[in-house]
Amino acid sequence: MKRMISIILTVVMLCAVSMPAMNAVAAANERTPVVYIRGNGDGIFYPDNKLVVTQFEEVSLGGEEGVNKDIIVETAVNILKPFVLEGMLFDKWDTYGKVIYDEISPLFVDAGLDENGNPKNGTGVLKATADESVAMAKSAYNYNVNASYQFAYDWRLSPYDHVDRLHEYILQVLSVTGQKQVSMYARCMGGSLLMAYLEKYGHLGYVKNVLFCDVLSNEATVISKTFSGQIEFDAKLVERYAGQVDFCGKTGEGFGFVFGDVLNEIVSKTMNFFTQISVTDKALDGVEELYNKLYKALIPALLHATGMATQVNYWTEIAEEDMDAALDLVFGKKGSELRTKYAGLIEKIEYYRKHISSDIDGFYEALDSKEIHYAFVAKYGFMNLPITADADLQSDALASLKHVAYGATTAPIGKTLSDKYIAGVSEENRKYISPDKVVDLSTCVSPDTTWILKNAHHNQIDCLIPIIYAFLNGTEENIDTVYAKTGFKQCMVFDYDTLTASNMTADNCAELEFMTRATEKPTTETRLVSFMRWLTMVFDFIARLFRGEISFGK
């Protein structure tokens, strides 16, 4: 009897001792699991695991064999010869589109998809990569407030090619964490996959909170206007963009190639000089005239040669009003040979269009009916590529603020909302106008759960992680509770010296220097200074080149 009582007491004591630890694990697992969908960051491999394409900055050209710099130079020469000798001299452009395709397409042989929107030669994301975060999730003790389970996928394909596997992935995460719901967030091109998943599976109740961060899925201006052939040129915007290129080169952002910072400096100073001496307007008039002759051959040739024309996920970023023009330009009119050849791929484009992009307003209304809480994080202070009518939209250099913060009203780059506009905003809604008077968030689809960061490039994300997880780990979070947890308000400013964000005030909200550069009217003094800077740059470049201090790639 005494022995039985001892055993019972021992069991009771062990349970009492282990209870705090068990409660700690349970408490940790009460946090909502977060599933993260990246943009185009997952590597695409051949079946033998040899890398084909990672991010844009790291394109591996020429298929499995690769390609060296000499081939790139040879390709450039082959493209330029008929451009100068036939086009510029004799205005003969009939076959130039074919020349571009024949020269460029071998460099991107497996980057695109086939006529049905499927990978070529077995390329895709490694299964080990896709399974990695589920394996990580099995360690409950390592689960913390900023843990996320990253879903790997082939970002070239239609989002609907992935939604079923994404659903299975979410069920796995729920199984290993013991939770009933997940929170989800997506960046950049991942927004289209998140929207497709929510459209098909959102009604099942497995998703609690959703955050769209820098997403292109509500429209990517540059993609939309380029695919549909709506190209325009503006001298002041080109010069301003040169300053942006120069800035991004110095801060390690944006896209680089063999010349690196040297090319950034040459472009910036040359465009500044040309603008100051009033050459750019005339030059761009000629460029625009030439483009109007060429774009019907040039754009399809470039998009097909690089594979972008067949990567369905790019088509999800095209505005509904531009879609028909884009399909006609890239694949020809209905019934054409090319349109018939790519019928399977176009069917995938049209499926996404029918279910999401034709009615984005309806998509967000459906989230409300499904009791899914959603939020947006967006950045601005940079301009888009200066080749479209919308180049002066506030953006993060890739995604326009009015689209990322869906429905936001913004002043053009270099300007503020007018006094008349602000006076027309109700007293209740003026709290949503940014301190710099550039953005009105009251017109957003979700004004209380939209955060904006000024002077931040698309690549900047780390400083926003506290806001992202304060929302995703909460229940029915709004801007006030996120502010209480993080100290951040709705409008913030990014500091490149400290790589941190701070709350925006009337005193710290100035634009980056290069944004005001093109608004200054040239004078005799500025023309002279610009010329001397440009001349100094040219001689310095030549001297450095001959001293072997400049590398043109390896």
CA 404 to chain CA centroid, Å, is 10
DSSP 3-state assignment of 379?
strand
Q: Give the model confidence (pLDDT) of 340-364 as tens digits.
A: 999 999 999 999 999 999 999 999 9
- Contact predicate 456/504, CB 8 Å: no
Q: Which two tokens stand for residue 494?
A: 């990014």
Q: Does the structure show a pLDDT above 50 at 295?
A: yes
- Residue 361 parent element (H or E): helix 360-369
pLDDT tens digits, one per residue of 146-205? 567 888 899 999 999 999 999 999 998 898 888 999 999 999 999 999 999 999 999 999
Q: Which of 47-51, 58-62, 252-256 comes out lowest in average pLDDT? A: 58-62
Amino acid at 205: G
Domain map of the chain by residue range?
60-109
Please give the Cα distance from 554 to 552 (Å, whole number). Answer: 7
Give 235's pLDDT tier (boundaries 50, 70, 90). low
Beta strands in 188-315 (DSSP E): 207-213
Q: What percent of the chain has pLDDT over 70?
A: 66
Contact 247, 507 (CB under 8 A): no
Q: Give the pLDDT score at 4.
A: 44
- Listed in sequence order, the residues at least 6 apart from 230 whose beta carbon sits closer than 8 Å to its beta carbon are 322, 325, 388, 389
Q: Where are the beta strands (DSSP E) in 24-160?
A: 34-37, 44-45, 51-53, 149-151
Q: What residues have CB less than 8 Å from 232, skipping those under 6 apart?
A: 288, 387, 388, 389, 391
The radius of gyration of the chain's CA atoms, rounded to the nearest angstrom, is 27
> Please, which residues have CB within 8 angstroms of residue 468's CB and are 6 or more apart in sequence?
185, 211, 213, 377
458 touches 188 (CB < 8 A):
yes
State which amino acid sits at residue 390. Answer: D
Q: What is the pLDDT of residues 532-544, one digit of tens each?
A: 555 555 555 555 5
The pLDDT, as a whole number, for residue 527 is 53
Would you give the end-to-end CA distance of the chain in angstroms? 84
Backbone angles phi, psi at 84, to 5 degrees: -85, -50
For 107-159, write each residue's pLDDT tens digit.
777 788 999 999 988 888 776 676 665 666 555 434 555 567 888 899 999 99
Whole-Å CA distances, 233 to 96, 240, 388, 519: 22, 12, 7, 16
Taking residues 325-350, report their average pLDDT.
95
> Rounded to two decimals, what is the model's pTM?
0.80
Looking at residue 167, what is its pLDDT? 95
Mean pLDDT of 402-416: 94
Produce one character per residue of 75-103: b if its CB has 16 or more CB atoms within 10 Å, e if not. Answer: beeeeeebbeebbeeeeebeebbebbbeb
**Residues 6 or more apart whose Cβ sits within 8 Å of residue 456:** 379, 380, 381, 396, 463, 494, 501
- As a residue count, the chain comes to 554
List the single range of 408-412, 437-441, 477-481 with lowest mean pLDDT: 477-481
Range of weakest confidence among 24-28, 83-87, 452-456, 536-540: 24-28
- Strand order across the 207-213 sheet: 149-151, 34-37, 182-187, 207-213, 373-380, 450-454, 491-495, 500-503
Q: Which residues contact 444 (CB under 8 A, 6 or more apart)?
A: 376, 405, 406, 407, 408, 432, 450
pLDDT above 90 for 437: yes
User: Is the CB of residue 408 less than 8 Å from the CB of residue 402?
Assistant: yes
C-alpha span between 491 and 511 (Å, rounded): 14
Q: Is the pLDDT of residue 86 over 80?
A: no
